[in-house]
Structure 1
Amino acid sequence: MVKDESVAQIAVLGWGLVIAGCILGIFFFNRRTYPLVFIACTALACIAYIRTLWLLGPFAGGGNRILALCLVLAAVWRVPLLLKPPTLSTDVYRYVWDGRIQRLGYDPYTVVPGNSKFRQLHTAETRLMNHPDVPTPYPAAAELFFRAVMTVKESALAMKSAIVLCDAALVAVLLSWLVASHRSHWWVLAYAWNPLVTLEGAGNGHVDLLGALCAVLTAASLVRGRRTVAAITFALAVGIKFLPVVLAPLLWRRVRLRDAALCIGILGALYIPFLGKGRLPFGSLGTYLAHWRFNAPVYSALERVFPAVGLFGVPAGFGFAVAVWAHRHLDLDSPQAWAWPIATTLLFAPAIFPWYLLWVTPFLFTRCTLPLAVWTVSSLSTYWPLPVWAKMMVEYGAVLCVAGGMLAQSVGARRATSFSV
């Protein structure tokens, strides 16, 4: 058994080298100039990642040196993408702009970057941001984070470096959680080797990784009985993006009343620097909900039948419902209890950009979340230069195939058990 596990560990390392080669291919070959190379590299990296997850299942532990080498490999393949300007998204330039104008005394919730009055505030990088015709849509904790990073250095590289530090911290928190819960620490690779994490973190510098760090800190702290810490980190997670608010039922009766009050107080305090303008500091969030649509087949189908105004609460409603179910039926220590409410909310959302799935990536260290792991990587097909229907076939078809296979396997196992009885 020990020998078999050692062989499996070497096999895992081999698949890691495949992922590393694919990441280097993405680094060297521009996706617009070499679209087929980009498709091949992302597809192969995703296959190698899923194969790795399959191999991790029976691991009991041990092999610390090889695991350390695997984590070093993950760190190394992030470096080229960190040093390269983002190629899949320009959101990081909005982060730089928001942090910069805060330092100059302006309110990101009211300032429109494309307004000619603010032309002199731009840098060469901030001129590259998307949607310059609207103010920021990001919540207060994210805005304060942008300001803090820009205080150190005003550049996209500085912002991406800060996100990579969050990435590293998340690995450390996951390792601690796995060890404390007596799980195989090899499951940390479910996060560290995820191609989506590398491309959207080191590559594009998305702030969702900071939010994911706060979310996993909430879960890990709650499991250990650190209720005050859990309340604080949950407030910060919601203050980075509103998505994790659907996890609130998981905290019900697991934190004290004073912890809940502290959470609400912190969330309110985050907005104090942005009050006093005669309006709620939500920026372009309303515009986003009303007009931005991307990769959202479920929401688009519902929108054809029901009025759009009545649909805004649907994603959160389904997410809350799943969280309530998870609170009643799953252990607090179950990663699927945290992953499925977020994934359900995203499934019904009006826009599903690949980096939104970063919120799910810390909670993939169980076979029960394998369909979600597939979704995190199949979502990268939205970057492929293919027709929309083809990209959706790849993204959601892969998830349905895996989920269907797992369901069939489960039904078959139950039938075999009933026959044996």
Structure 2
Amino acid sequence: MQVKILSYYRLHKIPILLLLASLLFYYTFAYHLVRTDFPKLITLTAALFFLCYKLIQFEKWNLKLLFTAGVLFRLVFLFVEPMLSQDFHRFIWDGELVLQGLNPYLQTPDTIVELGKISIDNAAHLYASMGEISAKNFSNYPPLNQFIFALAAFFSGKSMLGGILTMRIIIILADIGILYFGRKLLAKLNLSSHLLFWYFLNPLVIIELTGNLHFEGVMLFFFIWSMYLLAQKKYLLAAPILALSIATKLVPLIFLPLFIRHLGLKKTIPFYTIIGVTVLALLIPFYSSEFINNYTTTIGLWFSNFEFNASIYNIIKKVAEINGSKDWETIKAFGKISPYITIIMVLLFSFIKNNKTITSLFTSMLWVLTIYYFISTTVHPWYIIFLILLSVFTKFRFAIIWSAAVFLSYWAYANPDFKEHLGILVIEYIAIFGVIIYEILKLKRQNLLYSKKETSKLG
């Protein structure tokens, strides 16, 4: 046994050292980083991305080692509170309400505290720590998320760590599920299995999902499972699974029109029907006359009130400022037109692009979501994770660069008033747009060379 271990170490010495170095950096990130320390944050993430790249480069055919590395990196965060996000306090708060049979969509935390009629474990700490914006708004987390929050609250008892641990285990299992179905889908598409480790080992994925307890990973587990079933022509089974993805995070809703050309109208109708019925079934426990108004109002705030790490919107805002417009006037006006831009863009990709194959469908999804983020007023770092997974199944890799560059947006947390630095955002988006333009031109050249070769063969 000892001989085997020594032999394995000699064969994989450098990757093992890279793995150990990554563990050290993740440990430092989890236990010795304050989010206001931007120089330390950006240095750690730069080092982790470099080590991720080298690990995949050295061991892309050693999937067991890469899998082990990904799991170990996640386990580092198991018993620590999130270091970059306070959202988990609201998750546990909502979960406590659901456990008591109360609807988290009907009263804001501010109202609940003001009335003082509800007993919630650690209520004072949760309320004080969730942040002013969260406390004054209704919950915007879809129904399946609420059930997970309730599960976390159930296992937390009077200790928040119990709730954190429950959510973290669910998120880690979801990532492993993404790896399982993602590899199957890659094999179905005759693509290399190691590509999925650009997701599984990506520092943004590990830090923002396992570390900061964002549920994009759970959404993506159901999403990739449904896409695998779709690739197997099992669209009726894929529909309820996709509905679970939507019921975790609403993002996949934007892709629904893309399935019309992929499935054809005859199959699309039952596909949509099953999705609708499944989502409605999950909503029934929370439905009331006030629910729709409260929920749509809260979602609408993301278009007309909040702004963070925006690209095109920041340019428009700067031009508006020069012309004497106030910030609140600009975001209100932009918030009114951006949904229509999104709808037009989705319809163009739905009816002009050929989405017949799974690969072309993923490519359309990638561009739809990318353009949506470019016109959004709020692009939190964890939003990019969906793009990372989509890119694995396409010829584009700009999302991986974006996943590294997006950490620049955390400059805002180094300031007491969370003020963004436009110069830093310019660096982030110049890098992203530069890579996108390079990849588009590269793909055009490749297609041109391919068509010339085919023409010469025919000649």
SS at match of 1:241: coil
1:113 aligns with: 109
1:382 aligns with: 409
1:4 aligns with: none
Structure 2, unaligned runs of 5 or more: 1-10, 158-162, 321-329
**Aligned counterpart for 1:190 among listed residues 193, 198, 219:** 198
Amino acid at match of 2:126: T
Count of matched residue pairs: 407
TM-fit CA distance, 1:276: 2.5
1:276 aligns with: 288
Query: How far, CA to CA, are the matches of 1:389 and 1:15 in structure 2?
Result: 34
2:143 aligns with: 140
Structure 1, unaligned runs of 5 or more: 1-7
TM-fit CA distance, 1:388: 1.7
When structure 1 is superposed on structure 2, of 124-133 and 95-104 the one drifting more is 124-133
Residue 126 (str. 1) matches residue 126 (str. 2): yes
1:297 aligns with: 311
2:252 aligns with: 244
2:4 aligns with: none
| TM-score (ref. length: structure 1) | 0.85
Query: How far, CA to CA, are the matches of 2:316 and 2:350 in structure 1?
Result: 22
CA contact (8 A) 2:359 2:393 kept: no
Residue 357 (str. 1) matches residue 384 (str. 2): yes
| TM-score (ref. length: structure 2) | 0.78
SS at match of 1:121: coil
Q: Percent identity?
A: 18
CA contact (8 A) 1:319 1:344 kept: no
1:189-218: CA deviations, max 9, x gaps?
111111111011110110121111122122
2:96 aligns with: 100
CA contact (8 A) 2:222 2:244 kept: yes
Residue 341 (str. 1) matches residue 356 (str. 2): no
TM-fit CA distance, 1:41: 1.0
Query: How far, CA to CA, are the matches of 2:56 and 2:352 in structure 1?
Result: 26
- Aligned-CA RMSD value: 3.2
Amino acid at match of 1:201: L
Amino acid at match of 1:289: F
Structure 1 residues 400 and 140: alpha-carbon distance in aligned structure 2, compared to 1, 3 A threshold? same
1:77-117: CA deviations, max 9, x gaps?
11122321001111122111111101112111122112322
When structure 1 is superposed on structure 2, of 89-98 and 286-295 the one drifting more is 286-295
TM-fit CA distance, 1:323: 4.6
Residue 332 (str. 1) matches residue 358 (str. 2): yes
Amino acid at match of 1:248: L
TM-fit CA distance, 1:379: 1.1
SS at match of 1:114: helix
Query: How far, CA to CA, are the matches of 1:340 and 1:54 in structure 2?
Result: 27
TM-fit CA distance, 1:139: 2.1
Residue 211 (str. 1) matches residue 219 (str. 2): yes
CA contact (8 A) 2:302 2:378 kept: no
SS at match of 2:77: helix
2:183 aligns with: 175
When structure 1 is superposed on structure 2, of 103-112 and 174-183 the one drifting more is 174-183
CA contact (8 A) 1:150 1:159 kept: no
1:315 aligns with: 342
Residue 88 (str. 1) matches residue 84 (str. 2): yes
SS at match of 1:276: coil
Structure 1 residues 411 and 173: alpha-carbon distance in aligned structure 2, compared to 1, 3 A threshold? closer
